[in-house]
Amino acid sequence: MSYIEDNSFSIGCVGMGANEENIDFIKKYKPQNIFCFGTSLSKKDFESIYEELQDANLYIFSLEDNYSYKFTKYNYCKTQSIKFVVDYLCKNVLSANDKTIYQLRDDIIELKKIRELKLKERIKKSGLMAQSIYYIMRNVDMNTIVSADAGNHYLDAINCFTPRNYGTFYIDAGLAAMGNGICTSIGVAVGELDKHHICITGDGCMLMNGTSIYTAKKLNLPIVFVVFNNCSLGRVRIGQMKEKKFIGSDIFGCDFKRFGESMNIDSYQVENLSQLEQVFDLIKNKKETILIEVICSHNEIPLGLKG
């Protein structure tokens, strides 16, 4: 992701990964102009808040060719660098000497404080998966690179993590192929060996692309694979909860700690937050391939689906 959360004018995600506080802020503020950075695969998430934004002028910056939006008024710009556009806007548009700009900044700062307090309240009521991801995201430095795989853990990650530096959060907001985060973290780590990397993934994803972690071990890449084992294809199971009819969504009997150890990877298994904190304290200065299996509830609902 290209935006920096520490920027005073960033409210965070809109669409996928957004929360009630962000949406309420947009409804109240009623922006006249919106600058959107994305791709055709993620436009469905942005269009999910169409009702709140349909009267605004939309400016779309993308690495891809033009594509259609629901919005009646929009300008499209293909660019080779999203980072360049974000930097330009922050330095020029948002640095204008205008009292309304300063009021907006203060309002956003207050929004972030309220949002963090409400997120903490939601985390306390959540299960181990959300609590673990929240803890991890609050205990990494600003240069740690995070990749979030497809699954329930993905929804928790985008709700808990706010990037503080460019190129530190990789997600698949389009096809959301299972196991993509494992391979993403390996590819990024090959190019940035001097940084720490964390891959947020799950048991279903590991059964898709888990053998790829052998490559990470072989190349001694500094990646911590955090595997959330809820003994299910979580997103599928949640979809089946409404009908109370579960077909092919259970995954029992997998031990990913032993899986990692079979490749001589330093591996751990935790069953509560205290154990996870102890493991992270133990490995925080290591720059090698590590696997942590987190045993969590079969029925935990991710933050992104709790409203």
Q: In the listed set 78, 102, 120, which residue is the last one of a domain according to the structure? A: 120
Q: Are residues 248 and 282 in the same domain?
A: yes
pLDDT at 86: 78
pLDDT at 95: 56
- Sorting pLDDT into bands at 50, 70 and 90, what band is 272? very high
Q: Are residues 69 and 215 in the same domain?
A: no
Q: Are residues 140 and 53 in the same domain?
A: no
Is it the case that residue 287 has pLDDT exceeding 80? yes
Q: Are residues 133 and 109 in the same domain?
A: no
Q: Number of structural domains, the chain?
A: 2
* Domain contains 11: no
Tens-place pLDDT, residues 182-234: 999 999 999 999 999 999 999 999 999 999 999 999 999 999 999 999 988 77
Q: Are residues 137 and 285 in the same domain?
A: yes
Tens-place pLDDT, residues 111-170: 888 888 988 888 988 899 999 999 999 999 889 999 999 888 888 888 888 787 878 988
* Domain contains 1: no
User: Do β-strands 197-202 and 74-78 pair in parallel, antiparallel, or remain unpaired?
Assistant: unpaired
- The average pLDDT across 38-54 equals 62
Is it the case that residue 283 has pLDDT exceeding 90? yes
pLDDT at 14: 63
pLDDT at 6: 62
CATH number at residue 59: 3.40.50
Q: Are residues 116 and 158 in the same domain?
A: no
Query: Is the pLDDT higher at 4 or at 106?
Result: 106
Is it the case that residue 67 has pLDDT exceeding 70? no
- Sorting pLDDT into bands at 50, 70 and 90, what band is 1? very low
Tens-place pLDDT, residues 86-109: 778 777 765 556 667 778 888 888
Is it the case that residue 35 has pLDDT exceeding 80? no
